Structure 1
Amino acid sequence: MITLRQLQCLVAVADLLHFRRAAERLNLSQPALSAQVAQFEEQLGGLLVERTRRRVLLTPLGREVADRARSILRDVSDLEEIARHANAPLSGTLRLGVLRTLGPYLLPHMLTAMRASYPDLKLYLREEPRAQLLADLAHGELDVVLLHNAPDDDDHLTVVPLFREPLWAVLPLGHRLAGKAVLDPADLAGEKLILLELGDGLRDPGLSLCKAAGAREHPDFRATSLDALRQMVATGLGCTLLPGLYVEAEALADTQIAVRPFSQAPTRAIDLVWRRTTSRADDFRLFAKLVEDNLPPVVERVSFPEGR
């Protein structure tokens, strides 16, 4: 008989294409994982995984079975959640995915209210880039995600827009614009902006501002974190844009940089997203309201409670 453990093992191997990392994900030894996959192959009467010393590949059968396995595991998870939350709203475990440049600066605003209103809720948090969040949501590894610019053409997702987060200009001390209290985007004409790599919803508005203002991306520097951006500006390597929640939490107190708002600020739109087939849509709408009710003034609410 095929077991859920065999399905989990195959999906982990399919996701990671690496037996050791797949075993670590499932808290199994590598030999135990290999044995589960081998037993699964024997039961199905076909090879699912091609494994050499250098790489791991799924066979055509393996890819098809892995897709079916993901669907089965999602359904089982939904059944467990239905039973667990039949009588208590927003309780049990909530597997929340959030952008790395958002979670540490948004969640502190809501955690106290969450504990007070929903004491039985256990929050499991995973911070990842946008593409990985959507993949983990689709595979059933996350229940709901907070990210920027959710897909508006995916019929499998429910999207609730929550807020728009303004971006602030961050300048080296002594910069020609540091004396201005508020900047117009056009003030950045001719400047070279250091931007983040892809994945967090900050690069596209930065490039749009560069184009509109006559600025350009710095050709020699690019950062992988908000702290790195701030430190690069402090050393005089260039200017940048930082999101308002991070500015409020970290950058305003930094005496090594000048932080200035825009009169017409570029923004990134933040949405709450879940699978349309979930049994916990009512819970997730409660969670959306919890976020909305505890947003700080630095962001602009744009919620559409029914979602799309």
Structure 2
Amino acid sequence: MDLRQLRCFIAVAETLHFGQAAQALDMLPASLGRHIKMLEESLGCRLLNRTTRNVSLTDAGSRFVGPAREIIKRTNDLEAMFRQTRTDTASVLRVGAIDSAAAGLMPRLLSHFRESHPEIDIQLLEQKTIRLLPQLLSGRLDIAIVRPPAALDPRLASRHLFFETAVVAIPDGHPLAARATVSVGDMADQPLIVPDRKSRPHSHDLTMKLFAEAGLTARVAQIAEEKQTIVNLVSSGVGLAIVPRWTARLAVGGVTYVPLDVPAGSARNKLALSAVWLRDTRVPARDAFLAELDKHMEELETSA
């Protein structure tokens, strides 16, 4: 039995879903399953009941999860105590951001931050959520602006910021490009370009869920990963794409961005942004960054 196995078991116990637990831990479901199996073999009993549809705790699992959480909490507290190498006079803040935040939020926020705190240098890393969260846990980042994961590691703290505005990228000359707004129903028979779910689950699920909530099936013509690629495919006439409003700043010719008429509902939450950082650590520069976020939140949300 080791700490990795305990963390895997706790993640599954909290989500009762191997896929969500694996995503939260940035690992493959098969690898997660192996860690759980090794833990059960070392204890000599089953901790989880698994079927093709459901996951549940056994009686042994229910008794084991509490003490396991306590072991992990004590380990985390010990790590935090000895990993705290920052001082009150730290002059470098390491910030991670997904592409939406790096292009849409950070330019304005950094302008304000540098004006208020010229003594603090910012190191900015742009990456996907699944790559940024492990770097927070390892101490390589102080804070990250990400899509909130389905299950957040208990070692991390988070704060919801706002929801980004969704627009539809449409080829110039397309009949929908002249509209003031576009609804999901307007796109019912249109070919769509959607992000790869493995690397961009939130953006992928936004499109699919909007269509599902409207009682429609998305007509996916092309899967792509990067926003730049998606917009270039729109420009070439491959299809339409639902994207965050900041994507218009990519300056790709031949594309019109029309506001998406999003009905009130859960699908809109897929474009949420959150600030995430390592719990129980004291980083004055990070606190100053969060304060600047709060101070200018209304302006930042309006421009998102």
The TM-score range, normalised by the shorter chain, is 0.5 to 0.7
Do 2:91 and 2:285's aligned partners in 1 also have CA atoms closer than 8 Å?
A: no
Q: Which residue of 2 aligns with 1:19?
A: none
Do 2:165 and 2:245's aligned partners in 1 also have CA atoms closer than 8 Å?
A: yes
C-alpha offsets along residues 37-93 of structure 1, whole Å, 9 cap, x if unaligned? xxxxxxxxxxxxxxxxxxxxxxxxxxxxxxxx9997764441x21xx21xx5xx522
More helix by share: 2
User: Any residues of structure 2 matched to 1:96-107 within 5 Å, and which?
Assistant: 96-107=95-106
Do 2:92 and 2:285's aligned partners in 1 also have CA atoms closer than 8 Å?
A: no
Q: Which residue of 2 aligns with 1:191?
A: 190
TM-score for the superposition, normalised by structure 1: 0.63
Q: Which residue of 2 aligns with 1:212?
A: 213
Cα pair distance change 1:216/1:263, threshold 3 Å = closer
Q: Distance in 1 between matches of 2:185 and 2:294?
A: 32
Q: Which residue of 2 aligns with 1:162?
A: 161
Q: Distance in 2 between matches of 1:71 and 1:140?
A: 14
Pairwise CA distance, 1:148:
0.7
Q: Which residue of 1 aligns with 2:250?
A: 250
Q: Which residue of 1 aligns with 2:291?
A: 289
Q: Which residue of 2 aligns with 1:34?
A: none
Instruction: Report how many residues are paired.
Output: 222
Q: Distance in 2 between matches of 1:289 and 1:256?
A: 40
User: Any residues of structure 2 matched to 1:81-160 within 5 Å, and which?
Assistant: 81=86, 84-85=87-88, 88=89, 91-151=90-150, 154-160=153-159
Aligned AA (2:273): I
Q: Which residue of 2 aligns with 1:238?
A: 239
Q: Which residue of 1 aligns with 2:230?
A: 229
Do 1:193 and 1:215's aligned partners in 2 also have CA atoms closer than 8 Å?
A: no
Cα pair distance change 1:298/1:108, threshold 3 Å = closer
Q: Which residue of 1 aligns with 2:70?
A: none
Secondary structure, counterpart of 2:290 in structure 1: helix
Do 1:109 and 1:296's aligned partners in 2 also have CA atoms closer than 8 Å?
A: no
Provide structure 2 residue ranges, at least 5 long, that are not aligned to the other structure. 1-74
- Greater Cα offset, 121-130 or 231-240: 121-130
Pairwise CA distance, 1:192:
2.3
Q: Distance in 1 between matches of 2:169 and 2:146?
A: 23
Q: Distance in 1 between matches of 2:259 and 2:179?
A: 10
Q: Distance in 1 between matches of 2:192 and 2:114?
A: 40
TM-score for the superposition, normalised by structure 2: 0.64
Pairwise CA distance, 1:105:
2.9
Based on CA coordinates, which of the two structures has the bigger radius of gyration?
A: 1
Q: Distance in 1 between matches of 2:261 and 2:117?
A: 39
Provide structure 1 residue ranges, at least 5 long, that are not aligned to the other structure. 1-68, 302-308
Pairwise CA distance, 1:120:
1.4
How many percent identity over aligned positions?
22
Q: Which residue of 1 aligns with 2:48?
A: none
Secondary structure, counterpart of 1:159 in structure 2: strand
Q: Distance in 2 between matches of 1:191 and 1:297?
A: 34
Aligned AA (1:109): R
